[in-house]
Protein backbone atom coordinates (compact mmCIF):
# COMPACT_ATOMS: atom_id res chain seq x y z
CA UNK A 1 0.00 0.00 0.00
CA UNK A 2 3.03 2.25 0.23
CA UNK A 3 3.12 2.31 -3.56
CA UNK A 4 -0.50 3.48 -3.61
CA UNK A 5 0.44 6.30 -1.26
CA UNK A 6 3.26 7.51 -3.47
CA UNK A 7 1.12 7.19 -6.59
CA UNK A 8 -1.40 9.54 -4.96
CA UNK A 9 0.57 12.47 -3.65
CA UNK A 10 2.97 13.39 -6.45
CA UNK A 11 0.37 13.38 -9.28
CA UNK A 12 -1.99 15.33 -7.00
CA UNK A 13 0.77 17.89 -6.53
CA UNK A 14 1.16 18.12 -10.29
CA UNK A 15 -2.56 18.83 -10.55
CA UNK A 16 -2.18 21.67 -8.04
CA UNK A 17 0.65 23.20 -10.05
CA UNK A 18 -1.61 23.43 -13.12
CA UNK A 19 -3.78 25.87 -11.16
CA UNK A 20 -1.08 27.63 -9.12
CA UNK A 21 -0.70 31.32 -9.92
CA UNK A 22 -3.68 31.26 -12.29
CA UNK A 23 -6.42 32.64 -10.00
CA UNK A 24 -8.38 29.40 -9.56
CA UNK A 25 -12.08 29.66 -8.77
CA UNK A 26 -12.49 30.04 -5.02
CA UNK A 27 -15.39 29.96 -2.56
CA UNK A 28 -15.73 30.30 1.18
CA UNK A 29 -16.18 27.19 3.29
CA UNK A 30 -17.60 27.98 6.70
CA UNK A 31 -15.95 30.95 8.41
CA UNK A 32 -14.28 33.91 6.68
CA UNK A 33 -10.78 32.42 6.93
CA UNK A 34 -11.58 29.06 5.32
CA UNK A 35 -11.75 28.69 1.54
CA UNK A 36 -11.75 25.95 -1.08
CA UNK A 37 -10.56 26.24 -4.68
CA UNK A 38 -11.16 24.23 -7.81
CA UNK A 39 -7.62 22.91 -7.34
CA UNK A 40 -8.54 21.31 -3.98
CA UNK A 41 -11.45 19.54 -5.61
CA UNK A 42 -9.51 18.36 -8.67
CA UNK A 43 -6.66 16.95 -6.58
CA UNK A 44 -9.05 15.23 -4.20
CA UNK A 45 -10.97 13.61 -7.08
CA UNK A 46 -7.70 12.17 -8.39
CA UNK A 47 -6.57 10.80 -5.02
CA UNK A 48 -9.94 9.30 -4.07
CA UNK A 49 -10.39 7.78 -7.52
CA UNK A 50 -6.94 6.19 -7.45
CA UNK A 51 -7.44 4.69 -4.00
CA UNK A 52 -10.92 3.45 -4.86
CA UNK A 53 -9.62 1.70 -7.97
CA UNK A 54 -6.98 -0.19 -5.99
CA UNK A 55 -8.63 -0.63 -2.58
CA UNK A 56 -12.41 -0.53 -3.04
CA UNK A 57 -13.21 -1.81 0.46
CA UNK A 58 -11.09 0.72 2.37
CA UNK A 59 -12.65 3.68 4.17
CA UNK A 60 -11.68 7.21 3.13
CA UNK A 61 -11.72 10.50 5.03
CA UNK A 62 -11.21 13.41 2.63
CA UNK A 63 -11.30 17.06 3.61
CA UNK A 64 -13.69 18.23 0.90
CA UNK A 65 -15.95 15.18 0.45
CA UNK A 66 -16.08 13.80 3.98
CA UNK A 67 -16.10 10.28 5.40
CA UNK A 68 -16.82 7.33 3.10
CA UNK A 69 -17.05 4.63 5.76
CA UNK A 70 -16.48 1.07 4.58
CA UNK A 71 -14.16 -1.55 6.10
CA UNK A 72 -12.89 0.01 9.38
CA UNK A 73 -9.61 -1.91 9.28
CA UNK A 74 -7.98 0.51 6.82
CA UNK A 75 -8.80 4.20 6.43
CA UNK A 76 -7.10 6.66 4.08
CA UNK A 77 -6.99 10.28 5.30
CA UNK A 78 -6.61 12.91 2.59
CA UNK A 79 -5.87 16.63 2.53
CA UNK A 80 -5.60 17.39 -1.20
CA UNK A 81 -4.38 20.96 -0.66
CA UNK A 82 -3.08 21.97 2.74
CA UNK A 83 -2.41 25.69 2.76
CA UNK A 84 -5.28 26.68 0.48
CA UNK A 85 -5.15 30.36 1.46
CA UNK A 86 -1.43 30.47 0.66
CA UNK A 87 -2.07 28.73 -2.65
CA UNK A 88 -4.89 31.10 -3.62
CA UNK A 89 -2.66 34.10 -2.82
CA UNK A 90 0.14 32.78 -5.03
CA UNK A 91 2.38 31.84 -2.10
CA UNK A 92 4.34 28.58 -2.46
CA UNK A 93 3.59 27.25 1.05
CA UNK A 94 1.14 24.45 0.29
CA UNK A 95 1.10 20.74 -0.34
CA UNK A 96 -0.63 17.38 -0.37
CA UNK A 97 -1.08 15.12 2.64
CA UNK A 98 -2.19 11.48 2.69
CA UNK A 99 -2.01 8.92 5.50
CA UNK A 100 -3.17 5.35 5.96
CA UNK A 101 -4.62 4.33 9.32
CA UNK A 102 -4.86 0.74 10.48
CA UNK A 103 -7.74 0.63 12.96
CA UNK A 104 -7.08 4.27 13.81
CA UNK A 105 -3.30 4.07 14.07
CA UNK A 106 -1.24 5.75 11.31
CA UNK A 107 1.04 3.26 9.54
CA UNK A 108 1.91 5.18 6.36
CA UNK A 109 2.14 8.89 5.69
CA UNK A 110 3.27 11.29 3.00
CA UNK A 111 3.56 15.06 2.72
CA UNK A 112 4.41 16.49 -0.67
CA UNK A 113 5.48 20.08 -1.35
CA UNK A 114 4.98 20.74 -5.09
CA UNK A 115 7.17 23.84 -4.74
CA UNK A 116 10.04 22.87 -4.70
CA UNK A 117 8.99 19.26 -5.36
CA UNK A 118 9.96 17.72 -2.02
CA UNK A 119 8.46 14.46 -0.79
CA UNK A 120 8.38 13.34 2.83
CA UNK A 121 7.37 9.73 3.40
CA UNK A 122 7.14 7.55 6.51
CA UNK A 123 6.26 3.97 7.33
CA UNK A 124 5.77 2.76 10.89
CA UNK A 125 9.07 1.45 12.20
CA UNK A 126 11.06 2.59 9.15
CA UNK A 127 11.77 6.27 9.84
CA UNK A 128 11.06 9.40 7.80
CA UNK A 129 12.58 10.00 4.39
CA UNK A 130 12.84 13.27 2.46
CA UNK A 131 13.54 12.65 -1.21
CA UNK A 132 15.31 9.41 -0.34
CA UNK A 133 17.37 10.73 2.57
CA UNK A 134 16.46 9.85 6.13
CA UNK A 135 15.71 12.88 8.32
CA UNK A 136 15.40 13.53 12.03
CA UNK A 137 14.21 16.29 14.33
CA UNK A 138 16.71 18.88 15.54
CA UNK A 139 19.43 17.88 18.00
CA UNK A 140 19.22 21.32 19.65
CA UNK A 141 18.08 20.93 23.27
CA UNK A 142 17.49 24.59 24.22
CA UNK A 143 14.18 26.13 23.17
CA UNK A 144 15.72 29.61 23.02
CA UNK A 145 17.92 28.51 20.14
CA UNK A 146 15.20 27.31 17.74
CA UNK A 147 12.53 28.70 15.47
CA UNK A 148 8.96 27.66 16.20
CA UNK A 149 6.10 27.30 13.72
CA UNK A 150 2.76 28.74 14.80
CA UNK A 151 -0.77 28.29 13.52
CA UNK A 152 -3.61 30.26 15.12
CA UNK A 153 -7.38 30.06 14.77
CA UNK A 154 -8.73 33.40 13.49
CA UNK A 155 -12.35 32.19 13.61
CA UNK A 156 -12.59 31.78 17.38
CA UNK A 157 -14.56 33.89 19.84
CA UNK A 158 -13.15 37.17 21.15
CA UNK A 159 -12.13 35.39 24.35
CA UNK A 160 -10.41 32.63 22.40
CA UNK A 161 -8.55 35.15 20.25
CA UNK A 162 -7.33 36.96 23.37
CA UNK A 163 -6.20 33.62 24.79
CA UNK A 164 -4.19 32.92 21.65
CA UNK A 165 -2.56 36.36 21.66
CA UNK A 166 -1.59 35.90 25.31
CA UNK A 167 -0.09 32.51 24.52
CA UNK A 168 1.86 34.03 21.61
CA UNK A 169 3.30 36.83 23.74
CA UNK A 170 4.50 34.29 26.31
CA UNK A 171 5.96 31.88 23.78
CA UNK A 172 7.90 34.52 21.87
CA UNK A 173 9.96 35.16 25.00
CA UNK A 174 11.18 31.56 25.05
CA UNK A 175 12.07 30.83 21.41
CA UNK A 176 14.43 32.43 18.91
CA UNK A 177 11.50 33.53 16.75
CA UNK A 178 8.33 32.35 15.04
CA UNK A 179 7.51 31.26 11.52
CA UNK A 180 3.90 30.96 10.41
CA UNK A 181 3.00 29.29 7.13
CA UNK A 182 -0.04 27.80 8.92
CA UNK A 183 0.21 24.59 6.89
CA UNK A 184 2.20 21.41 6.43
CA UNK A 185 5.39 23.38 5.74
CA UNK A 186 5.69 24.02 9.49
CA UNK A 187 5.33 20.29 10.09
CA UNK A 188 7.77 19.22 7.38
CA UNK A 189 10.44 21.59 8.64
CA UNK A 190 9.97 20.36 12.21
CA UNK A 191 10.26 16.73 11.12
CA UNK A 192 13.54 17.43 9.29
CA UNK A 193 15.01 19.58 12.05
CA UNK A 194 14.92 23.06 10.53
CA UNK A 195 12.27 24.18 13.02
CA UNK A 196 12.50 23.09 16.62
CA UNK A 197 8.75 22.88 17.17
CA UNK A 198 5.35 23.81 15.83
CA UNK A 199 2.09 24.67 17.53
CA UNK A 200 -1.26 24.68 15.75
CA UNK A 201 -4.43 25.41 17.67
CA UNK A 202 -6.92 24.52 14.94
CA UNK A 203 -6.26 21.28 13.06
CA UNK A 204 -8.39 18.42 11.77
CA UNK A 205 -7.46 14.80 11.25
CA UNK A 206 -6.48 15.44 7.62
CA UNK A 207 -4.06 18.17 8.73
CA UNK A 208 -2.11 16.01 11.17
CA UNK A 209 -2.53 12.32 10.28
CA UNK A 210 0.82 12.09 8.41
CA UNK A 211 2.81 14.12 10.95
CA UNK A 212 1.35 12.09 13.82
CA UNK A 213 3.35 9.20 12.36
CA UNK A 214 6.35 11.17 11.10
CA UNK A 215 7.28 13.01 14.28
CA UNK A 216 7.74 9.89 16.43
CA UNK A 217 9.55 8.20 13.53
CA UNK A 218 11.91 11.20 13.33
CA UNK A 219 12.56 11.29 17.08
CA UNK A 220 9.89 13.76 18.17
CA UNK A 221 6.50 13.93 19.86
CA UNK A 222 3.05 15.15 18.86
CA UNK A 223 0.51 15.79 21.62
CA UNK A 224 -2.35 18.03 22.62
CA UNK A 225 -1.74 21.08 24.81
CA UNK A 226 -2.01 18.93 27.94
CA UNK A 227 0.72 16.59 26.71
CA UNK A 228 -1.65 13.75 25.88
CA UNK A 229 -1.01 11.68 22.72
CA UNK A 230 -3.13 12.40 19.67
CA UNK A 231 -5.51 9.48 19.13
CA UNK A 232 -7.88 9.15 16.19
CA UNK A 233 -11.19 7.51 17.16
CA UNK A 234 -13.22 7.56 13.98
CA UNK A 235 -15.73 5.15 15.49
CA UNK A 236 -16.72 7.60 18.24
CA UNK A 237 -15.39 11.11 17.47
CA UNK A 238 -16.81 13.48 14.84
CA UNK A 239 -14.69 13.26 11.71
CA UNK A 240 -14.22 17.03 11.81
CA UNK A 241 -13.07 17.13 15.43
CA UNK A 242 -10.60 19.95 16.14
CA UNK A 243 -7.17 19.16 17.58
CA UNK A 244 -4.86 21.74 19.20
CA UNK A 245 -1.40 20.22 18.84
CA UNK A 246 2.23 20.66 19.82
CA UNK A 247 4.96 18.94 17.82
CA UNK A 248 8.64 19.03 18.71
CA UNK A 249 11.75 16.98 19.33
CA UNK A 250 11.70 14.80 22.43
CA UNK A 251 14.05 17.25 24.17
CA UNK A 252 12.14 20.42 23.26
CA UNK A 253 8.59 19.14 23.62
CA UNK A 254 8.40 19.36 27.45
CA UNK A 255 9.87 22.87 27.31
CA UNK A 256 7.15 24.02 24.91
CA UNK A 257 4.45 22.41 27.06
CA UNK A 258 5.81 24.10 30.18
CA UNK A 259 5.55 27.53 28.54
CA UNK A 260 2.02 26.79 27.33
CA UNK A 261 0.87 25.58 30.74
CA UNK A 262 2.35 28.61 32.48
CA UNK A 263 0.79 30.99 29.97
CA UNK A 264 -2.68 29.46 30.26
CA UNK A 265 -2.49 29.25 34.05
CA UNK A 266 -1.54 32.93 34.38
CA UNK A 267 -3.96 34.34 31.84
Distance CA 230, CA 208 (A): 9
Per-residue pLDDT tens digits for 219-239: 999 999 999 999 999 999 999
Residue 157 has pLDDT above 90, yes or no: no
Q: Give mean pLDDT, residues 24-35.
A: 81
- Band (158; pLDDT cuts 50, 70, 90): confident
Tell me the β-bridge partners of 199: 150, 246
Q: Give mean pLDDT, residues 14-33.
A: 88
For the beta carbon of residue 222, count every other beta carbon within 10 angstroms: 22
User: What is the percent of the chain where pLDDT is above 70?
Assistant: 97
- For residue 31, the model assigns a pLDDT of 67
Q: Give mean pLDDT, residues 195-212.
A: 97
- For residue 22, the model assigns a pLDDT of 95
- For residue 159, the model assigns a pLDDT of 81
Query: How many Cα neighbours within 13 Å face the side chain of 29?
Result: 14
- pTM higher than the cut 0.75: yes
- For residue 214, the model assigns a pLDDT of 99
Which domains does the chain carry? 2-135 (3.30.540.10), 143-265 (3.40.190.80)
Query: Left if phi > 0, otherwise alpha if psi is -120 to 50, otherwise beta: which for 56?
Result: alpha
Amino acid sequence: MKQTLLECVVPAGEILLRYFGKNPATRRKGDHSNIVTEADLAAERWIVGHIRALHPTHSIVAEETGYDQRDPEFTWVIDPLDGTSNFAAGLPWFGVQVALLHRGDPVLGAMYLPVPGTLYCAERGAGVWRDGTRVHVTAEADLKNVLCGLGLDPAGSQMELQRQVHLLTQLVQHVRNFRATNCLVDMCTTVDGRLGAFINLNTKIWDIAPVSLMLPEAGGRLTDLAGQPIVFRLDTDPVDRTYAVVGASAALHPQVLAVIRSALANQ
